[in-house]
């Protein structure tokens, strides 16, 4: 068995794979080289840099599994993989705590204007009156998406004694109650929340999920935070809402185009921006590498992986040829 590591992962994950397979680490591999060489491998590990396109998949004559060392799989053509009988796995639990903690940090930075105050002091200024903030205590948090990350966010903000609203059509009232949140419709959440934070995957249904209409429902004093995926928020509509004072501020870890060169949102004082660092902790990266390595081991051993995100159509002749 041969495994291609196409993006940087922690050494522990590589070590696990080396126990069962020949591992090739090519973390600078180009798309064209990947297309030419993918036919040699039984598994490929990626993060967000490498794109596993339909063209790559159609060149993969023996590939059994594509492993994303992280959560989102929008850089993988899952439909093409499914058609070819290739499993796609990820590590959804690896970064839940890490992303929730970054979300908390961005929200506090927005509420207390920490980024701007820090910049001001470092410039030799002392502008105490300029950085009047708001408390989180007693405010209403709105969480869009109550998956693993949304659940972790809710747990942390309960400590601030906030009212927590949630929009998620896939969970029950009973589950919401156990998580300490109140299920509401999206419009209700947008109208009532002082802070709206997004934790859903990017797909055709969620692209521009928050656009002009949704932003107009929010309070003028509200903040919007996106640590999920770029493209879920319509950035043109968000810029207009922020620059016209229709909402108070926004926190962005992800963007429609990354890096966000020339993005006008970055010119606004009421935006806290970070460079897609949601999963960037030592703990999260090590967990992701270990989880996907163990998933590949299961596939090679003929076992069902725990984090399979598709149901591939297996071609018996092709499987035998492998």
User: Any residues with CB less than 8 A from the CB of 83 and at least 6 apart, and which?
Assistant: 313
Across-strand partners of 250? 224, 271
Instruction: Kindly provide the residue ranges of all beta strands, DSSP E only, lying in the chain, ordered along the sequence.
Output: 2-5, 22-25, 43-46, 65-68, 87-89, 140-144, 163-167, 182-183, 195-198, 223-226, 249-252, 271-273
User: Any residues with CB less than 8 A from the CB of 133 and at least 6 apart, and which?
Assistant: 111, 112, 113
Contact between residue 291 and residue 94 where contact means Cβ atoms under 8 Å apart: yes
The pair of three-digit structure tokens given for residue 141, joined into one six-digit string: 């948090």
Q: How far is 266 from 213, CA to CA, in rounded Å?
A: 22
Residue 106 CA: distances (Å) to CA of 27, 112, 216, 274: 30, 10, 22, 9
Q: What are phi and psi of 140, to 5 degrees?
A: -110, 125
In b/e form, how buried is each residue of 233-252, taking b as 16+ CB within 10 angstroms? bbbebbbebbeeebbbbbbb
Mapped onto helix, strand or coil, the DSSP state of residue 44 is: strand
Q: How far is 278 from 316, CA to CA, in rounded Å?
A: 40
Q: Where are the alpha helices (DSSP H) in 200-273?
A: 212-217, 235-243
Q: Which stretch of DSSP H or E encloses residue 160?
A: none
Residues involved in catalysis: 229, 258, 276
């Amino acid at each position: 068995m041969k495994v291609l590591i196409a993006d940087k992962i922690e050494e522990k994950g590589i070590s696990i794979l080396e126990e069962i397979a020949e591992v090739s680490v090519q973390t600078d591999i180009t798309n064209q080289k990947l297309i030419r060489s993918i036919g040699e491998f039984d598994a490929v590990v990626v993060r967000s840099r490498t794109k596993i396109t339909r063209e790559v998949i159609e060149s993969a004559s023996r590939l059994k599994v594509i492993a994303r060392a992280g959560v989102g799989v929008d850089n993988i053509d899952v439909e093409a993989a499914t058609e070819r009988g290739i499993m796609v796995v990820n590590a959804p639990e690896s970064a839940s705590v890490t992303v929730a903690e970054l979300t908390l940090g961005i929200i506090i930075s927005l509420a207390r204007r920490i980024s701007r105050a820090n910049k001001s002091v470092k410039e030799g200024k002392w502008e105490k009156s300029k950085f009047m903030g708001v408390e989180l205590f007693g405010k209403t948090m709105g969480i869009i998406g109550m998956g693993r990350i949304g659940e972790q966010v809710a747990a942390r903000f309960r400590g601030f004694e906030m009212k927590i609203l949630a929009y998620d059509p896939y969970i029950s009232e009973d589950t919401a109650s156990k998580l300490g949140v109140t299920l509401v419709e999206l419009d209700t959440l947008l109208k009532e929340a002082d802070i709206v934070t997004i934790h859903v995957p990017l797909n055709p249904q969620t692209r521009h999920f928050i656009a002009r209409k949704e932003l107009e429902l929010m309070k003028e004093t509200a903040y919007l935070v996106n640590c999920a995926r770029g493209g879920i928020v319509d950035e043109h509509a968000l810029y207009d809402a922020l620059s016209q004072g229709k909402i108070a501020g926004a926190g962005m870890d992800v963007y429609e185009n990354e890096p966000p060169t020339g993005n006008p949102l970055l010119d606004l004082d009421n935006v806290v921006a970070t460079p897609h660092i949601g999963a960037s902790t030592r703990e999260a990266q090590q967990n992701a590498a270990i989880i996907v390595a163990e998933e590949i081991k299961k596939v090679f051993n003929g076992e069902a992986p725990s984090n399979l995100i598709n149901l591939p159509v297996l071609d018996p002749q092709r499987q035998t040829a492998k």
